[in-house]
Amino acid sequence: MSIQPWRATCIQMDSKIASNAKTREEAWQIIEENLDEAVRLIETACKSELPPRLVVLPEFVFQGPPRATPVSEWIDRACTTIPGPVTERLAAIARQHDIYIAGNHFEVDPRWPDRYFNSSFLLDAKGEIILRYRRINTASWTSPHDILSQYREAYGEDGIFPVADTELGRLAIFPCGEVSVPELSRVFMMRGAEVLLHPSNEPANARADAAKICRAAENMCYLISTNVSGQIGFSDQERGGHSQIIDFNGNYLAFEGSDAESLAASAVIDIGALQSARRDTNMGNALLRTRWEMYRDYFSAAAFYPVDALAKKAFETYSELSPVHEKAISNLTAARIIRNIDA
């Protein structure tokens, strides 16, 4: 199927933090204000001379992060379902402007009502949810890996590493710091992804920018990364910005250097050019030359962070995760990845 080039735009915007709210009503007033601003900026992008077919919003953009809020309080105060009131509001905008909208918010699943997930999602132009990915690599809230046996039974592998085959190409989504976990992007590529959507909420720095270039180039994928503007969610000092779009060779197609609200990171995505590059037999095709079998045994033997560590009981505060983290450190030490300083 021939896919015509299309435009993507990063919605780099401020995010008010709901974790300071004392009640659910106060928290949802903040969430609604963030939603209003997101809708305003999406509509501005759609009315521009170069309207997008797809927009990406930042991580935590509606609720902000929970910071030190206990799990049960955060669920009661600020979390919601997917689909739910946040995605329903965005779905109306998607239908109105015939666009795809990628975003992120903290989600509660009725299957596990005492936990919440950091969930990224994609709505198609009909307003339907076609992707929902729950962050795997985290030590701050429940990961599917923490309840893997239950999770796999409920959602299968497609629910763990989802890729949507669309009129725009094959799309995957994951948030923020997971861009520094190369295995995740690798798996999405192996499942067919051509475009990696990346809602983020992080300090703008060279390390984060380098990881984004690497994930795009090593997997020969486009990467569309949107960060918050202004203050990031976990800090009162560090700033966001650096929303960017990178092509499958690791080249910048768009880069917003400031930390101001902006729609400037916008570029054309050409899936046909990507597929031609993946078929090329010359030196530029890294996927063609990679010898996957050479690494398989190492990954099969790796067992560091404990799987199903929260299968029996959810945690309420971060300190309760200490035994899990200590076991992970012990496993890394036994594998000689971490030196035993007492020896």
| CA–CA distance, 272 with 21 (Å, rounded to integer) | 48
pLDDT digits (tens, 9 = 90+) for 2-57: 899 999 999 999 999 999 899 999 999 999 999 999 999 999 999 999 999 999 99
pLDDT at 284: 87
Burial 286-296 (b: 16+ CB within 10 A, else e): ebeeeeeeeee
Please, is 4 exposed, middle or buried when counting C-beta atoms within 10 Å of its C-beta (0-12, 13-18, 19+)? exposed
Tens-place pLDDT, residues 201-260: 999 999 999 999 999 999 999 999 999 999 898 888 899 999 999 999 999 999 999 999
| Alpha carbon distances (Å) from 105 to 75, 98, 149, 271, 342 | 12, 22, 24, 28, 42
What token pair was written down for 88? 């329903």
**For the whole model, what pTM was predicted?**
0.96
Q: Distance from CA of residue 241 to its chain's centroid?
A: 16
For the stretch 116-158, pLDDT in tens is 999 999 999 999 999 999 999 997 899 999 999 999 999 999 9
Structure confidence at residue 114 (pLDDT)? 95
pLDDT value for 342 = 66
Mean pLDDT, range 164-187, rounded to an integer: 97
- Tell me the C-alpha to C-alpha distance, in Å, between residue 293 and each of 283, 290, 296, 299: 20, 9, 5, 11
Per-residue pLDDT at 228: 97
Q: Which residue has the higher pLDDT, 10 or 286?
A: 10
C-alpha–C-alpha distance, residues 335 and 119, integer Å? 32
Q: Looking at per-residue confidence, does 236 or 81 come out higher?
A: 81
Phi, psi at 154, each rounded to 5°: -75, -40
The Cα–Cα gap between 303 and 335 comes to 9
